[in-house]
Amino acid sequence: MKRLRLRLLSPLLLACSAATALAADGMPPRVVTAPHYGDALFHFYQERWFDALTGLMVSQHFARVAPHDDEAEVLRGGMLLSYGLHDEATGVFARLIERQAPPGVRDRAWYYLARIRHQRGLNAQAEKALARIAAPLPGALQAERQLLQAQLLLQRQDYVGAAAVLEPLQGQAGAALYARFNLGVALVKSGDAERGQALLDAVGQTPAADEEMRGLRDRANLALGFAALQARKPREARVALQRVRLDAAQSSKALLGYGWAAADLNDPRLALVPWTELAQRPLVDAAVLEAQIAVPYALTEIGAYGAALSGYERAVVRYDGERRALDEAITAIRGGALERALLQPGQPGHDDAELGALAGIARLPELPQAAQLAPLLADHAFQESYKNLRDLRFLQRNLARWQGNLGSYTDMLDARERAFAQRLPAVRASAGQVDLPALEQRRAALAQDLQRARDNADAAAFADPGEQALLQRIARARAALRKQDYAPYAEERLRRAVGALEWRLSQQLPDRAWQASKGLRDTQRALQSAQAREAALLQAQQEEPARQARFAARIAALTARLQALQPRVAQLDAEVGGDLQQALVTELQAQQQRLDVYAAQARLAMAQIHDRAQLARRSDGSFAR
């Protein structure tokens, strides 16, 4: 039972980005003997998580999952955990796993619980779960645990503590690159810039076999480059930033930083190269926005005032156009663009969507200005809120469906009450036509006759109708012989006939006695069944109205409960949807504010160029173009 519990816990937590450690023992599967538990597992492995959870809880309520009670409880706890019900799941683990699982399994379960809490943004609770781990975890799990602990420490700005946790991981395979990167960041932020930059530089030059590692390497080079810029070391910054790939997610920031490094080296012509490349990209992040005015700034530095003025004018035009596009996007979002996007087929809020306890968001909604919203849409907190909205939409549909089902149940109960009232008189009349006590007395008399015949070995008592007719003919023949004087051969023939009949009756006596007993037993069972039906009928006449009243009260209570839940879910749906909409609008407004700042800087620079030109005209009447 313990082994199956671990095998069932593993796929749940594995689907929540956990490792396969709980199933690493190669344990054989166990046969499921409880049909209702098997039904829950069927829905679970068909990825119908809500049906699996609700069906399992109903089966547990009616005690239908034995002997799989522990496995079913762990399965329920895992699904509750995946739905974000951490307090309920923690209670399940505390009652079940800690009580019955070995310490190693318990520690792994708390590690997975910490990971899921961290994914949900519950960092304080995640740290509490990690603190419950009593011993080092097996294999790569220990390194992952330390990385998670360090990440939690970094998020609450305990850089010294994070560095102490990450220090032992540097030489380990697998987690080494992440550990060195996080340790480098922690050391830089804790004040040990020299060691931190050395670690980031090593990560930035490490060969990478896949895109994930190459992305981490780009992040290390970017962090190293900007740290060098802040330390007024432009040459070191250029060396680090030029290692960032041009098609990487970090390339825009790297190009911007590379240009500023060249500007710090008083080489504006060199800064023009990355800035010009960056300025041609779509206005989707702050680096590209800044590049629109960085290019004319460099032109100003080399004395190309006319080209710089044109560059600033183009930047202002682009900023104004982008601002108008953002205004339109904000209007569309406030007008229900998010709602319409959710109602598209395949989206979480659509009617064909299924509530997925373990499923993530495969495709975010198509929204206006999605490129500018990409960082927000990819944010973990936004995606978790989006999952909440998806779940609320599913619950609204489910509550409406249940409400319709209760109406059907009410109709069924009404039909049952009418049928009971219509059939009861006919059943009573039919039952009154049979005198069961008289039939029971007759059966008892027959039982006595049978016992008497068996005790006296009375074979004639078991004669069939034909044999009884022969016996009567024999009796009449004997009476006639006594009255008449017949020849001796007639008496002899009668004696032989009587002997043959008696012999046949004697030979068949045991079999006929058994058949008679069997028939009597069948009669007794039929009478008992009839008596039971009569008792059930009497009981139904007394209890069925009360039973129907209980059903009606139960339906009424559930209807009231659903009617109370529907407004609450609708209110939560409106709140979460409103929060998501406001988050989108806030992000676009922040983009507008950045545009306003850059546009103001461009106009100020344009004014400065005009002032410089006027001063030049006053001095010698010339203006360099």
pLDDT of 364 above 80: no
Query: For 136, which DSSP code?
Result: P
Q: Out of 191-200, 415-424, 527-536, give the one with best mean pLDDT.
A: 415-424
- Quick one: pLDDT band at residue 18, thresholds 50, 70, 90? very low
- Quick one: pLDDT band at residue 600, thresholds 50, 70, 90? very high
Q: Supply the pLDDT for residue 20.
A: 32
**Cα separation values, 22 from 111, 115, 133, 264, 392, Å:** 11, 15, 15, 54, 32
pLDDT of 393 above 60: yes
- What one-letter code names the amino acid at 168? P
Using a cut of 0.75, tell me whether the model's pTM lies above it: no
Task: Among 9-23, 99-113, 438-452, 508-522, name the one with the lowest average pLDDT.
Answer: 9-23
**φ, ψ of residue 285 in degrees (nearest 5):** -145, 175
- Quick one: pLDDT band at residue 430, thresholds 50, 70, 90? low
- Quick one: pLDDT band at residue 85, thresholds 50, 70, 90? confident
- Quick one: pLDDT band at residue 23, thresholds 50, 70, 90? very low
User: Rg of the Cα trace of the chain?
Assistant: 45
Q: Supply the pLDDT for residue 16.
A: 37
Rounded mean pLDDT of the chain? 78
Are 307 and 313 spatial neighbours (Cβ–Cβ below 8 Å)? Answer: no
Beta strands in 101-146 (DSSP E): none
Long-range contacts (CB closer than 8 Å, 24 or more residues apart) made by 69-78: 70/1, 70/5, 70/96, 70/100, 71/1, 71/4, 71/5, 71/8, 71/37, 72/37, 72/40, 74/5, 74/8, 74/9, 75/8, 75/9, 75/12, 75/40, 75/41, 75/44, 78/8, 78/9, 78/12, 78/13
Q: Which residue has the higher pLDDT, 182 or 170?
A: 182
CA angle 410, 411, 416 (to 5 degrees): 95
Mean pLDDT of 60-83: 81
Q: Which residue has the higher pLDDT, 196 or 400?
A: 400
Q: Supply the pLDDT for residue 296.
A: 92
Task: Among 137-141, 171-175, 397-401, 457-461, name the one with the lowest average pLDDT.
Answer: 171-175
pLDDT of 105 above 70: no
pLDDT of 184 above 70: yes
- Quick one: pLDDT band at residue 314, thresholds 50, 70, 90? very high
Q: Which residue has the higher pLDDT, 504 or 26?
A: 504
Q: Which residue has the higher pLDDT, 324 or 29?
A: 324
Q: Supply the pLDDT for residue 168.
A: 72
Query: For 560, which DSSP code?
Result: H
Percent of the chain with pLDDT over 90: 6
Percent of the chain with pLDDT over 70: 83
pLDDT of 25 above 70: no
Q: Out of 331-345, 389-403, 435-449, give the one with best mean pLDDT.
A: 389-403
